[in-house]
């Protein structure tokens, strides 16, 4: 499962596994919201492995809401300790908890590519019911390259929406090798871009990345 789970996947840990994590890290168990995370049915997010992670475990993250310090907690679990997994929520679904000022921008983004997913503060507020969004929050999105027939057109359309948006539009175009920040892809075809994958970061050219398989 460690290889099968894409970066940004949302997973749920078994209650017993989470209890074991709390026993290993008593400093985390002192925070009630963290100690009760699994029991509340809240997800973790798959992240890139750090140097301290081992290959036999799934690297996961838990970003706390601003009211609890906005801390980013890194843990690792065995694949057997994961009881459910899913891609990050569709932007169209997460929109229900977005501020009113964001709604027009979100509607444009959903019309542009209905398969667009959200993975930042908006997604966490949608998935947990906790207050992650603030006045300074970005809108973090994932645009699947496999759903895009004209990548260059998508990028120009995103840029146009971003210019008029009341929040910063951040996120990645996601291809088979991983994700690239959408702004990096607005350069020339020969420009080198960073591709963030499930096991690390690689480089390629803009043209090579955008030429990925199209369904």
Catalytic residue positions, numbered: 138, 140
| DSSP states along 83-131 | EEEEPPPBHHHHGGGS-GGGHHHHHHHHHH-TT-EE-SHHHHHHHH-S-
Distance CA 165, CA 33 (A): 33
CA dist 181 → 72, 101, 142, 199 (Å): 21, 24, 9, 17
Pairing between β-strand 139-144 and β-strand 169-175 as defined by DSSP bridges: parallel
At residue 159, φ and ψ (nearest 5 deg) are -60, -40
- Give which of 16, 142, 38, 151 is closest to 88, Cα–Cα: 142
């Amino acid at each position: 499962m460690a290889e099968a789970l894409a970066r940004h996947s949302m997973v749920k840990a078994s209650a017993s596994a989470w209890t074991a994590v709390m026993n290993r890290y008593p400093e985390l168990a002192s925070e009630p919201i963290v100690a009760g995370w699994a029991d509340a049915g809240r997800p973790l997010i798959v992240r890139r492995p750090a140097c301290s992670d081992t290959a036999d475990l799934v690297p996961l993250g838990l970003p706390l809401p601003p009211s609890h310090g906005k801390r980013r907690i890194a843990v690792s679990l065995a694949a057997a300790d994961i009881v459910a997994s899913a891609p990050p929520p569709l932007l169209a679904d997460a929109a229900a908890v977005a501020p009113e000022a964001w709604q027009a921008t979100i509607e444009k983004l959903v019309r542009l590519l209905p398969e667009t997913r959200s993975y930042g503060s908006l997604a966490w507020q949608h998935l947990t019911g906790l207050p992650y969004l603030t006045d300074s929050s970005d809108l973090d999105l994932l645009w699947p390259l496999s759903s895009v027939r004209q990548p260059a057109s998508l990028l120009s359309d995103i840029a146009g929406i971003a210019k008029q948006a009341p929040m910063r539009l951040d996120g990645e175009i996601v291809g088979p090798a991983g994700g690239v920040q959408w702004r990096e892809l607005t350069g020339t075809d020969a420009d080198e871009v960073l591709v963030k994958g499930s096991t690390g970061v690689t480089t390629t050219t803009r043209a090579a990345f955008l030429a990925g398989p199209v369904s």
